[in-house]
Amino acid sequence: MPYDPRLVQPMREELTQIGVQELRTPAEVDAFMAQKSGTAMIVVNSVCGCAAGQARPGVRLALQSAVKPDRVATVFAGQDLDATARAREYFSQFPPSSPSIAIFKDGEVAHFVPRHFIEGRDALHLANALVETFNKHCTPAAAK
């Protein structure tokens, strides 16, 4: 059962305030994924304190990197159920978990961060791992 929206709103805003696009319907997910060229990242947000509480600041830190995905979006597991289910169809080869993060290159999954890579670690650990992945798959803004 979804949590009270008032409780969840700050968790949404922790990402949307830095420009992460929130996808709340399957149609919005499909529209985001329709653009195949370049790099994209979808963050599966969640209420879970032990993992998502570190995932959101980790994503925020990582997105300060000069090299990062062209487009970044988020769905909220346990809240926006249909949108989350649709997003997971785009990385269905991986068992569903939340929070989790999928990075796409030209429409294909290039990297996936499952929940167990996040839980029990601090935000900086996730940020460093994401930046390493960005450097591997994304193009620096200056080179575009």
Binding site for other proteins (CB under 8 A): 48-51, 94-95, 97, 112, 114-117, 119-121
The amino acid sitting at 73 is A
Which of 50, 66, 124, 141 is catalytic? The answer is 50
Contacts of 13 (CB under 8 A, 6+ apart): none
Shortest Å, Cβ 76 to other proteins: 18
Annotated catalytic residue 50 = yes
83 CB-near residues (< 8 Å, 6+ apart)? 23, 24, 25, 26, 28, 29, 75, 76
Nearer to other proteins, 19 or 49 (CB): 49
Catalytic residue among 15, 48, 55, 103: 48
| 138 is known as an active-site residue | no
* Identity of the residue, 39 or 97, whose beta carbon is nearer to other proteins in the bound complex: 97
The kind and range of the H/E element at 36 are none
Query: Please, what is the minimum distance in Å from the beta carbon of residue 54 to other proteins?
Result: 11
Detail the DSSP E strand segments found in 9-138.
21-22, 39-45, 71-76, 100-105, 108-113
Residues labelled as active-site residues:
48, 50
